[in-house]
Structure 1
Amino acid sequence: MTQIPKPATDASVARRPEEAQPHSETNRKSIERAGTLDELEARFVAIGARAQALVDSAGSELCNARPAAGSWSAAECLQHLNISTDSYFPIWQQIIASAGPRKAELNAPYRTDFWGRLLSWILEPPARIRSRTLLPFEPVECGTVESVLSGFLDRQQRIVATLHRCRGRAIDQVRMASPVDRRIRYSIWSSFLIVAAHQRRHLSQAEQAVQKLRSAN
């Protein structure tokens, strides 16, 4: 997660401009924003599968190596996401219960507020705004990519379980403070969109790190 230098960013972005560049045609177009809990759950499941596939294909050596001095390894990118996601769980645990019953139809799209639209757009790769990562969210102690991936997949399951708690609740009507900057407030629904975009951003960075290492060998 990064500090918000202007009212535009809420979660961390790539630390170096070259790490934020798209590496394939699929990264050149932002993913369409989810509108329902089912769609959002599918996005988080896909992110977990994508992380698993990266580690399986790259292996420990490439995932734990940094492509350049001052940049993150793939394992560090995933560990950063673990740390960042952990900052949301206590807030979700407390605030979801305060959301009343939803009056809209069961499968009706949720409303995304201003901050949800803006921050998910900024965070979705390719990078649009870059800023430094705040110290509490730096992956200082990373460990092996296997342990980091296991923790990441566990958190994805916790997110999905949290989404299940949201069913039937008006989570787009209740706002919460950003764990990065309490001046920024957005709906519970928007918080999930922001987390998903943030995960895709750094997963893309992890894939680029591995690609650079492969190209150098």
Structure 2
Amino acid sequence: MLAVLASVFVISMSGALMPGPMFATVLAKSYKSPWAGAQVSLGHAVVEVPLILLIYFGAATILENDITHLILGIVGGGMIIWMGLGMLRARKAYAGGTKDTPYNAFTAGIILSAGNPFFIIWWATVGALLVLKIADYGLGGLTALVLTHWAVDLIWLSIVSGLVYKTHRLWAPALHEAVFVACGLLLMGFGGWFVVSGVLAIG
């Protein structure tokens, strides 16, 4: 089982280190709290753990359905575009600390996970293979997989959150605003990509 868990760790780390919508949101939310990374990862787990259980009990084919991808792409991508647009519009207030986003970090973790069709596809393919390999070890093995995978996200996002919270007061005002612009554009870009990919899935 240790070999399977080692592969889970390495694969999870390679995914966690790639900048994406969760990373961008953690950057923005960490201005207010050093716990933003942990809260986003908890929200992520709310979606991810049931998904892993569904795959374990044989529902991976549902996740590969084109209609599922279409719905997730349009609804989820639209929500993520809304998050990014709001960040762009109120970037000065967010950077100045006079305003916070209308959603907390925990809720953001849920939205960004449930609305990401590529996250679902990953679990229906690569993730399903990992679940299949660990299935021989029963629920104990599955629990170990969940904890190993989630720990990678938790630790990485917590490190990012802690560093941003401790150092952002030293940044120039222009850099503060630039971070929120970059995060907003990144969210809108990913959201648009998710919408287009959902539509193309049934093309």
| TM-score range relative to shorter protein | 0.3 to 0.5
Higher helix share: 2
TM-score (norm 1): 0.32
